[in-house]
């Protein structure tokens, strides 16, 4: 069963169609990828899923419930979390506080299942491997690590579905490999991950299913092996063969 | 019918003036992204200049007009753009709002300075009262030439503006700058020149509007009233979304007609006495409504590279020490201080408490409120209603009833929450309503016992609690429609709210009689708000001390109140709630995707902040036991906001310094120089006319203009030099200073030195302390420098760009990479 289902979503910015009747399922417990050239509409689609943007038409369902009209915070409470491509860290707070506050926010809305925010913070920092910079200001750490802080912050809400918007950009190759391991570990624990990423090596190595977006339309979908030889994908990335 | 036509024409004339003013505002905002809060003040100043030329010096009208509108205003606009506005690019939002406000105060202060004498500046209409007659003798209508001229000028200007913007090359560049300054530059346009041009045009239009509207008054002009009159045009500019000139014109006409028709219906405010302030409130009400209702685009200039505005987290132990130090300082001052300074310092402390409300709201949560004194005034009214009650006819005090209902509702809500898990949300709602009802019933019973209007000889603690609850409620109600707004728009909304409350409540002189059907004699409630022209609040009598007897004791009480609320804010900032506020300030979007209901958090912080302002207002009024409407107007609020931002809005210490600056420093400086001029009469022109008036009229505004260079506030910079003293190494020096100060204070008590000498030397030593430390213990300050060097060294990729690549850099890189030392780089 697909935990997250996007049906016929269209987004117009003025006369410009950024997303054009996109439908795609994200299976429960899977690690699904979304790739496409710059400006294909990936982040726009993420904004629609997380509720920051209302689609012109179409429907988003989470665990079978229609959430198209729900507010962002209501979706988050249903188990949807995300990171941002253009970093949205809390710059007044340290790395540790950035993560703690997410737990405290969770405690605000999840009355029946309170977590010990401080203890949970240490667990998450350990998990994402940021112990060394935990007390640094978020403006002082490199972008690659800042993206990991965003991941840690999202994890504090104990999400069912995690939307990651280019989490690996700015990371070194070694870091990316570790990051891939981390993603696999998270899906192993039952979190569904929907990943937008430009690093093909990462996407091809961790994703089970990949959707390819170009000019707002899905032009291909399949396993990494299928995508790598898909002619439409090659054309979108490398230009027309003719 | 005739009256309808006359009122329509009057409305159209006012609308035409608003159209001129608001399109000037739109033109400047569009090309620079800076909302010129001072636009109204520019118009006001131009009107005064025109008065000076035309009526002061009796020049011919055309020359006066041309000089003001075609020469002075455009030049002022260009200078403004060049030296102030351009410096505001890439600064944080609060700076972008505060600097134009400083300009506004500079102009209103300047006008009061120059034209503040006793003789009125009387404006007359063009062609005096000459009128033309329309229609035959039976149903003739008379319209003054002035109204007609105004409309012709507006239409002509609109046509001219259209030609400039759409036909000339400069106009095309100006419109291009709106869309993309960088691209315009790449295409050979000159964005800076276009921007300067637009500010010249904008100032000129403000000037024309000011001159026209001031002459239309046909009476003496007042700088603040005139500024507000032009501010009315802001609503029209918002209606045009700060972009569309056509919509701005439509909005202006609507405002002009609305005011004119209301005047007609209400018989110039005679019909419903307690609504007499409504006429002047219509434009600000429309402004509020348009801000709330119109969907607007994101504010321009939101993409800022990386603004350094991070406020350091206050540590707990230091906060306790500071809180104690403030109270001890004022306790120590008690025996030696005189009455005058006591009242000044008390004012500073009370304004500090009011400023704390903004530290919470703006410093911690990133929301903006330009009108803290409005909430302070509401708090004062509530306290008076509760503690004194000034209506002899009122059967029971309304505030008392509201309070008991609120108490009931709160108890009900809490009880409901306990049952929420079992019975769901309904339990909360039902229990809240039931207990609120119980509160209402108990109110009637209680009031029946005591027959209402309390008259106490001192402020009560219950009264303070009531003030806090009522102000929190008012704050939440104001914030509710404004929740979508941020930054500039929120600032404008609070500005509009302040003007509205001033007109409708603080200037309210009539009793509002309410009739409950089938009960009583037809005038069941009589509510007096500001009937006597002021509020009256006694000081409290707590802990066995009657503060009514001692101003000095009251000053210490104020210091304690400040310290307690300040400590509370520090604790709040360090709590989970404070972290959530900071998170909301930094990224509302991220907060929402973590499941935070931003609406509720904003409401709560607005409520809390308003409660602090309200309580501060009560203590503020009680200093001299009375305050009139002028204490709470927007023009009194703005300097507080300005100086708080200058001192550092992110810190409790900023509120202290801001309050002292507003309440003490500028008043004292003008006082000192006033006295000096009395002593040295030959220098009166310098001491009195220049320096004293400078501090009195424009000091705060000048202080705020320094913000462009130091947006974090000056206190932070000052403290930086003191911080090393608090380390282990600096402790002996700090102790030595403490001993010195103690001995010195002792000698003051023995009257070996005078009060002024003591103050001056103490202040001097305190200010010189870091310099002395640097000489005596140089190692204290080296740490900071090496730390800085280490910090710079980590950013290897910037070496060679930010500074030259040195041999040391190569060596350190070699060392880091474990390479054999290279000889490259020796020049």
Lowest mean pLDDT among B284-288, B436-440, B511-515, B552-556: B511-515
Treating both helix axes as pointing N-terminal to C-terminal, what angle do B576-586 and B551-574 enclose, rounded to 10 degrees?
Answer: 70
Q: Do A93 and B586 make contact, defined as CB atoms within 8 angstroms? A: yes
Of the options 1.10.3470, 1.10.3210, 1.20.1740, 3.40.50, the CATH number for the domain spanning B2-287: 1.10.3470
Asked if residues B99 and B704 have their Cβ atoms less than 8 Å apart, the reply is yes
Asked if residues A192 and A198 have their Cβ atoms less than 8 Å apart, the reply is no
Confidence of residue A209 (pLDDT cuts 50, 70, 90): very high
Identify the DSSP state of A114: -
Question: Highest-confidence range of A1-5, A102-106, B16-20, B810-814, by mean pLDDT?
Answer: A102-106
Distance between CA atoms of B194 and B121, rounded to whole angstroms? 36
Confidence of residue B519 (pLDDT cuts 50, 70, 90): very low
CA of B597 vs chain A CAs: smallest distance (Å): 6
Q: Strands A161-165 and A192-196: what pairing?
A: parallel
Share of chain B above pLDDT 70, in %: 77
Residue B454: per-residue pLDDT: 45
Taking contacts as CB-CB distances below 8 angstroms, the residues of chain A near B592 are: 51-52, 71-73, 76
Q: What is the DSSP string of B118-151?
A: SS--B---TTTT-EEEES-STT-EEEEHHHHHHH
Q: Which chain B residue is nearest to residue A80, measuring alpha carbons?
A: B593
Distance between CA atoms of B827 and B824, rounded to whole angstroms? 8
Residue B306: per-residue pLDDT: 42
The tokens for B386 are 């509760």
Of A104, A111, A157, the CB nearest to B579: A104
Q: Strands B512-514 and B525-527: what pairing?
A: antiparallel
pTM for this model (two decimals): 0.81
Q: Which of B503, B533, B485, B23 shows the shortest CA–CA distance to B228?
A: B503
Q: Which of B656, B635, B483, B502 shows the shortest CA–CA distance to B109?
A: B635
Asked if residues B676 and B734 have their Cβ atoms less than 8 Å apart, the reply is no
Q: Do A105 and B586 make contact, defined as CB atoms within 8 angstroms? A: no
Asked if residues A8 and A59 have their Cβ atoms less than 8 Å apart, the reply is yes
Q: Do A73 and B596 make contact, defined as CB atoms within 8 angstroms? A: yes
Q: Which residues partner with A165 through β-bridges?
A: A196
The tokens for B399 are 């505030």
Q: Specify the DSSP element, H or E, that contains B274.
A: none
Lowest mean pLDDT among B200-204, B251-255, B338-342: B338-342
Asked if residues B398 and B453 have their Cβ atoms less than 8 Å apart, the reply is no
Q: Which residues partner with B589 through β-bridges?
A: none
Q: Specify the DSSP element, H or E, that contains B779.
A: helix B779-794
Mean per-residue pLDDT, B687-704: 71
Reported for B443-448, long-range contacts at CB under 8 A and 24+ positions apart, including other chains, are B443/B396, B443/B400, B443/B401, B443/B404, B443/B405, B444/B396, B444/B401, B446/B400, B446/B404, B447/B395, B447/B396, B447/B397, B447/B400, B447/B401, B448/B396
B interface mutation test: which of A14, A52, A53, A72 has the most B CBs within 10 A? A72
Of A93, A97, A105, the CB nearest to B595: A105
Distance between CA atoms of B651 and B332, rounded to whole angstroms? 25
Asked if residues B478 and B497 have their Cβ atoms less than 8 Å apart, the reply is yes
In degrees, rounded to 5, the angle at the alpha carbon of residue A167 between the alpha carbons of residues A162 and A173 is: 135
Residue B452: per-residue pLDDT: 38
B487 Ramachandran zone, left/alpha/beta (phi>0; psi -120 to 50) = left
Average pLDDT value over all residues in chain B: 77
Of A93, A109, A137, the CB nearest to B595: A109
Rg (CA), chain B: 30
B interface mutation test: which of A43, A92, A103 has the most B CBs within 10 A? A92
The pLDDT tens digits for B556-581 are: 999 999 999 999 999 999 888 999 99
Mean per-residue pLDDT, B505-528: 57
Mean per-residue pLDDT, A189-205: 90
In degrees, rounded to 5, the angle at the alpha carbon of residue B178 between the alpha carbons of residues B174 and B184 is: 70
Of A73, A90, A98, the CB nearest to B592: A73
Residues 6 or more apart from B603 whose CB is under 8 A from it? Answer: B476, B479, B480, B483
The pLDDT tens digits for B612-622 are: 999 999 999 98
Identify the DSSP state of B630: G
ipTM of the complex: 0.91
Domains and CATH numbers, chain A: 1-79+159-242 (3.40.50.300), 87-157 (no CATH)
Distance between CA atoms of B651 and B527, rounded to whole angstroms? 39
The pLDDT tens digits for B351-397 are: 999 999 999 998 888 888 899 999 999 998 888 877 665 443 344 56
Asked if residues B409 and B439 have their Cβ atoms less than 8 Å apart, the reply is yes
Identify the DSSP state of A82: E
Q: Strands A209-214 and A31-35: what pairing?
A: parallel
Identify the DSSP state of A13: E
Taking contacts as CB-CB distances below 8 angstroms, the residues of chain A near B580 are: 101, 104-105, 108
Q: Do A108 and B421 make contact, defined as CB atoms within 8 angstroms? A: no
Treating both helix axes as pointing N-terminal to C-terminal, what angle do B461-482 and B487-501 enclose, rounded to 10 degrees?
Answer: 130
Residue B270: per-residue pLDDT: 64
Confidence of residue A60 (pLDDT cuts 50, 70, 90): very high
Q: Strands A57-62 and A65-66: what pairing?
A: antiparallel
The pLDDT tens digits for A48-59 are: 999 888 899 999
The tokens for B81 are 């753009």
Q: Which chain A residue is nearest to residue B580, measuring alpha carbons?
A: A101
The pLDDT tens digits for A123-144 are: 999 988 888 888 888 888 888 8
Asked if residues B364 and B581 have their Cβ atoms less than 8 Å apart, the reply is yes
Chain A residues with CB under 8 Å of a chain B CB are 50-52, 71-73, 75-77, 80-82, 84, 88-93, 97-98, 100-102, 104-112, 117, 137, 139, 153-154, 156-157
Taking contacts as CB-CB distances below 8 angstroms, the residues of chain A near B576 are: 101, 104, 107, 117
CA of A102 vs chain B CAs: smallest distance (Å): 6
Taking contacts as CB-CB distances below 8 angstroms, the residues of chain A near B595 are: 73, 76-77, 105-106, 108-110, 157
Q: What is the DSSP string of B165-226?
A: HHTSHHHHHHHHHHH-HHHHHHTT--HHHHHHHHHHHHHHHHHHHHHHHHHHH-SB--HHHH
The tokens for B688 are 């009195």
Q: Specify the DSSP element, H or E, that contains B14.
A: helix B2-32
**Intervals of CATH 1.10.3470 along chain B:** 2-287
Distance between CA atoms of B80 and B103, rounded to whole angstroms? 10
Q: Which of B766, B661, B748 shows the shortest CA–CA distance to B337?
A: B748
Residue B799: per-residue pLDDT: 66
Question: Highest-confidence range of B112-126, B403-417, B647-661, by mean pLDDT?
Answer: B647-661
Rg (CA), chain A: 18
Question: Highest-confidence range of A157-166, B214-223, B717-726, by mean pLDDT?
Answer: A157-166
Mean per-residue pLDDT, B394-412: 72
CA of A136 vs chain B CAs: smallest distance (Å): 12
Of A72, A93, A101, the CB nearest to B592: A72
Of B579, B582, B590, the CB nearest to A88: B590
Assign 3-state DSSP to chain A and report helix, strand, coil percentages, each to 5.
40, 25, 35
Lowest mean pLDDT among A144-148, B232-236, B590-594, B789-793: B789-793
More confidently predicted of B514 and A204:
A204
Q: Specify the DSSP element, H or E, that contains B590.
A: helix B588-593
More confidently predicted of B551 and B453:
B551
Taking contacts as CB-CB distances below 8 angstroms, the residues of chain B near A109 are: 595-597
Of B421, B583, B593, the CB nearest to A81: B593
Distance between CA atoms of A32 and A47, rounded to whole angstroms? 17
Has residue B531 got a pLDDT over 70?
Answer: no
The alpha carbon of B207 is separated from its chain's Cα centroid by a whole number of angstroms, namely 24
Question: 10 Å Cβ neighbour count for B732?
Answer: 11
């Amino acid at each position: 069963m697909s935990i997250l289902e996007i049906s016929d979503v269209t987004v117009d910015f003025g006369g410009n169609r950024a997303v054009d009747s996109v439908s795609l399922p994200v299976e429960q417990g899977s690690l699904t990828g979304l790739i496409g050239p710059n400006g294909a509409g990936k982040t726009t689609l993420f904004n629609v899923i997380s509720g920051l943007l209302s689609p012109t038409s179409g429907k988003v369902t989470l665990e079978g419930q229609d959430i198209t009209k729900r507010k962002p915070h209501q979706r988050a409470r249903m188990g949807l979390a995300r990171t941002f491509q253009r970093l949205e860290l809390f710059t007044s707070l340290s790395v540790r506080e950035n993560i703690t506050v997410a737990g405290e926010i969770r405690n605000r809305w999840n009355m029946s299942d309170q977590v010990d925010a401080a203890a949970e913070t240490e667990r998450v920092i350990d998990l994402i491997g940021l112990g060394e910079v935990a007390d640094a200001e978020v403006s002082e750490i490199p972008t690659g690590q800042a993206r990991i802080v965003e991941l840690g912050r999202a994890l504090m809400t104990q999400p069912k579905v995690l939307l990651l918007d280019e989490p690996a950009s700015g990371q070194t190759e070694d870091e990316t490999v570790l990051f891939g391991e981390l993603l696999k570990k998270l899906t192993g624990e039952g979190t569904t991950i929907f990943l937008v990423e430009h690093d093909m090596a990462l996407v091809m190595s961790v994703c089970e299913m990949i959707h390819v977006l170009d000019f707002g339309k899905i032009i291909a979908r399949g396993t990494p092996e299928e995508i790598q030889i898909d002619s439409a994908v090659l054309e979108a990335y490398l230009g027309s063969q003719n | 019918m005739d009256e309808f036509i006359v009122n329509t024409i009057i409305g159209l004339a006012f609308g035409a003036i608003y159209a001129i003013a608001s399109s000037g505002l739109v033109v400047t905002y569009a090309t620079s992204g800076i909302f010129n809060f001072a636009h109204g003040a520019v118009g006001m100043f131009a009107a005064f200049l025109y008065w000076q030329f035309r009526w002061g010096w009796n020049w011919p009208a055309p020359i006066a007009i041309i000089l003001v509108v075609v020469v002075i205003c455009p030049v002022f606009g260009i200078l403004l753009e060049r030296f102030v506005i351009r410096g505001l690019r890439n600064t944080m939002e609060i700076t972008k709002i505060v600097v134009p406000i400083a300009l506004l105060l500079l102009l209103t202060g300047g006008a009061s300075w120059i034209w503040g004498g006793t003789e009125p500046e009387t404006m007359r209409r063009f062609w005096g009262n000459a009128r033309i007659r329309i229609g035959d003798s039976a149903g003739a209508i008379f319209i003054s030439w002035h109204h007609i001229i105004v409309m012709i000028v507006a239409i002509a200007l609109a046509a001219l503006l259209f030609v400039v913007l759409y036909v000339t090359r400069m106009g095309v560049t100006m419109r291009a700058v709106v869309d993309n300054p960088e691209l315009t530059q790449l295409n050979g346009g000159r964005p800076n020149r276009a921007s300067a041009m637009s500010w010249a045009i904008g100032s000129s239009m403000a000037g024309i509007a000011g001159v026209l509207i001031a002459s239309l008054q046909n009476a003496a002009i007042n700088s603040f009233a005139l500024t507000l009159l032009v501010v009315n045009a802001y609503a029209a500019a918002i209606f045009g979304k700060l972009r569309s000139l056509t919509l701005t014109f439509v909005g202006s006409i609507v405002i002009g007609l609305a005011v004119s028709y209301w005047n007609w219906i209400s018989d110039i405010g005679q019909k419903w006495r307690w609504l007499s302030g409504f006429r002047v409130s219509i434009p600000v009400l429309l402004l509020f409504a348009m801000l709330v209702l119109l969907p607007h685009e994101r504010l321009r200039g939101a993409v800022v590279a990386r603004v350094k505005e991070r406020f350091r987290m206050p540590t707990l132990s230091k906060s306790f020490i500071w809180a104690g130090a403030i109270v001890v300082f004022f306790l120590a001052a008690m025996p030696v201080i005189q009455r005058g300074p006591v009242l000044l310092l008390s004012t500073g402390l009370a304004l500090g408490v009011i400023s704390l409300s903004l530290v919470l709201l703006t410093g911690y949560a990133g929301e903006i409120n330009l009108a803290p004194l409005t909430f302070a005034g509401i708090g004062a009214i509530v306290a008076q209603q509760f503690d004194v009650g000034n209506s002899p006819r009122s059967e029971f005090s309304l505030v008392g009833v509201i309070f008991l209902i609120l108490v009931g509702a709160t108890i009900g809500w809490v009880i409901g929450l306990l049952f929420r898990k079992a019975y769901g949300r309904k339990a909360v709602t039902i229990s809240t309503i039931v207990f609120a009802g119980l509160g209402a019933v108990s109110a009637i019973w209680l009031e029946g016992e005591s027959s209402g209007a309390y008259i106490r000889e001192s402020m009560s603690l219950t009264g303070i609690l009531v003030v806090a609850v009522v102000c929190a409620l008012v704050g939440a109600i104001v914030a509710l429609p404004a929740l979508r707004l941020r930054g500039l728009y929120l600032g404008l909304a609070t500005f509009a709210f302040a003007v509205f409350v001033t007109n409708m409540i603080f200037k309210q002189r009539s009793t509002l009689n309410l009739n409950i059907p089938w009960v009583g004699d037809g005038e069941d409630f009589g509510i007096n708000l500001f009937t006597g022209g002021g509020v009256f609040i006694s000081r409290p009598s707590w802990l066995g001390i009657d503060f009514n007897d001692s101003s000095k004791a009251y000053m210490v009480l104020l210091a304690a109140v400040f310290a307690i609320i300040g400590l509370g804010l520090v604790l709040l900032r360090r709590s989970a709630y404070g972290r959530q506020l900071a998170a909301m300030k930094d990224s509302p979007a991220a907060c929402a995707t973590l499941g935070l209901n931003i609406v509720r958090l904003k409401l709560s912080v607005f409520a809390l902040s308003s409660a602090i302002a309200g309580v501060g207002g009560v203590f503020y009024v009680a200093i001299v036991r009375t305050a009139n409407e002028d204490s709470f107007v927007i023009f009194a609020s703005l300097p507080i906001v300005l100086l708080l931002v200058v001192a550092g809005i992110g810190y409790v210490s900023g509120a202290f310094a801001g309050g002292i600056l507003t309440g003490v420093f500028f008043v004292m400086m003008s006082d000192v120089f006033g006295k000096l001029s009395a002593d040295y009469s030959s220098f009166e022109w310098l001491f009195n006319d220049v320096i004293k008036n400078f501090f009195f009229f424009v000091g705060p505004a000048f202080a705020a203009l320094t913000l462009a260079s130091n947006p974090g506030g000056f206190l932070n910079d000052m403290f930086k030099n003191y911080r090393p003293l608090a380390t282990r190494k600096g402790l002996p020096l700090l102790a030595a200073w403490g001993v010195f100060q103690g001995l010195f204070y002792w000698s003051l008590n023995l009257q070996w030195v005078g009060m002024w000498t003591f103050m001056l030397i103490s202040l001097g030593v305190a200010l010189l302390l870091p310099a002395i430390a640097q000489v005596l213990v140089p190692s204290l300050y080296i740490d900071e420098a090496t730390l800085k060097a280490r910090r710079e060294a980590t950013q290897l990729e910037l070496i060679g760009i930010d500074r030259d690549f040195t041999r040391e850099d190569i060596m350190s890189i070699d060392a880091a990479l474990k390479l054999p030392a290279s000889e490259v780089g020796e020049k």
